[in-house]
């Protein structure tokens, strides 16, 4: 595998408990090597209104070849009608870190 096979997937969620549940599920199912989550503030337009909410940002490190599987699994677990699920490629990373990701996810 090369570095272009790996990336991060960003997902916002409404609370820490849901974030922990999604993170643990993705790790247990070998869909992600690591999931970080941290509190954020979001301002966005939803159904014609400007909203401001406290949310949590998941940062999921994975093989991007698993994106469709991850997307479906996140949608099953997520409480939002329209969850943010955005994949970003890893442009540069240490080879040892990429190897670690590869060792900890199912093969796409």
Model confidence pLDDT, tens digit, residues 54-84:
999 999 999 999 999 999 999 999 999 999 9
CA neighbor of 19 nearest in space, from 38, 41, 4, 47: 38
> Model-level pTM?
0.93
Return the residue matching tokens 């849901």: 18
Q: Specify whether the CB–CB gap between 23 and 99 falls below 8 A.
A: no
Q: What is the pLDDT of residue 107?
A: 83
Structural domain boundaries enclosing 22? 3-103
Q: Specify whether the CB–CB gap between 5 and 52 falls below 8 A.
A: no
Q: What is the pLDDT of residue 79?
A: 97
Q: Is residue 108 assigned to a domain?
A: no
pLDDT band at 2; cut points 50, 70, 90: low
CATH of the domain at 13: 3.30.70.120
Tally of domains within the chain:
1
pLDDT band at 4; cut points 50, 70, 90: low
Q: Is residue 19 assigned to a domain?
A: yes
How many Cα neighbours within 13 Å face the side chain of 71? Answer: 10
């Amino acid at each position: 595998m090369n570095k272009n096979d790996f990336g991060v997937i960003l997902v916002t969620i409404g609370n820490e408990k849901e974030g922990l549940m999604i993170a643990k599920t993705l790790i247990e199912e070998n869909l992600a090597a690591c999931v970080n989550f941290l509190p954020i503030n979001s301002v966005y337009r939803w159904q014609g209104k400007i909203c401001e909410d406290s949310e949590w940002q998941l940062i999921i490190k994975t093989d991007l070849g698993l994106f469709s599987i991850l997307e479906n699994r996140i949608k099953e677990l997520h409480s939002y009608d329209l969850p943010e699920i955005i994949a970003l490629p890893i442009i540069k990373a240490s080879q040892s870190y990429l190897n670690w990701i590869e060792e900890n996810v199912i093969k796409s």
